[in-house]
Amino acid sequence: MITSAIIIIGNEILSGRTLDLNSNFIAKRCSKIGIKLCEIKIIADNYKEIIKEVLKASKKYKHVFVTGGIGPTHDDITALAIARAFKRKLVLNKKAKELLKKHYENSNFELNKSRMKMAYLPSRATLIANPVSAAPGFKIKNVWVMAGVPKIMQSMFLESVEKKLKKGKIIFSRTVKVKKPEGDIADTLYKINKEYSDLDIGSYPFYKPPDIGTNIVFRCSNKKILEKVIKKFCKLLKNRDIEFTVD
């Protein structure tokens, strides 16, 4: 089992100003490549908090995905905090400098002192390519640090991070959409969950009147078992004359 955690750094998420989209994107990709996401934590742009949380997650999980706080402004303190967390110095990374130079030579913007800050990374960090705006993310030990802007983060993850991750056991997932509130099928679910306790069976009611019902999500690494359980569950629903569809 390849485990992971996400740490989102951003006052703007905690104030409610911005809806966090990064963790959902990473969560989906992790599911796709068989990496188990165990927790998501959203913390403030706070030096000590970043150090504490990154170290804790780095010890506990195989991978830690961090987003936010690697830009050129005063509130971008992630690189410095993570350098300190791993007792490394923040140094001018020559490769990062070259990438920035090349990018800004071909743009209408100037590679000023503020922007050059983005080339200062923890010593011995590996770069994460940024196909959108050049300023790289970085990897240190098992911690992957990416931009906070969703479009940039996504391109970093897809083009660079994901290619370097070892794939795990894929968990297949199927959803049975039942046209009944979950209270009406809870007993049937108990039965099937007890018989197949290895499976992860989630019950997610939806409530958009007149569309009221429950999505039952079955997750399992063995496709055959998954199909067998789905079949059995559907039979139980049919026996009770309950309408459903299978995705």
Residues between 198 and 227 that touch its own copies (CB under 8 A): 200-208, 217, 219
**Structure tokens that stand for 164 in this block:** 């370097």
Nearer to its own copies, 1 or 124 (CB): 1
> Which residues 6+ apart lie within 8 Å of 133 measured at CB?
103, 147, 152
C-alpha angle with apex 58: 9 to 198, nearest 5 degrees?
100
> Is residue 23 part of the contact set for its own copies (CB under 8 A)?
yes
Q: How many CB atoms lie within 10 A of CB 97?
A: 15
Binding segment for its own copies (CB under 8 A), chosen from 17-25, 119-127, 138-146, 237-245, is 17-25
Q: How many CB atoms lie within 10 A of CB 120?
A: 16
Among 37, 79, 146, 220, binds its own copies (CB under 8 A): 37
Nearer to its own copies, 39 or 98 (CB): 39
- Kindly identify the residues of this chain, within the stretch 120-149, that bind its own copies according to CB under 8 A: 132-133, 149
- Kindly identify the residues of this chain, within the stretch 140-199, that bind its own copies according to CB under 8 A: 149, 151-152, 171, 173, 181-184, 186-187, 189-190, 193-194
Nearer to its own copies, 17 or 87 (CB): 17
Find out whether 25 and 154 touch, Cβ atoms under 8 Å: yes
Among 1, 33, 39, 228, binds its own copies (CB under 8 A): 39
Give the closest residue to 236 by CA, choosing from 198, 172, 184: 184
24-51 in b/e form (b: 16+ CB < 10 A) is ebbbebbbeebbbbeebbbbebeeeebb
- Kindly identify the residues of this chain, within the stretch 85-124, that bind its own copies according to CB under 8 A: 109-110, 112-115, 117
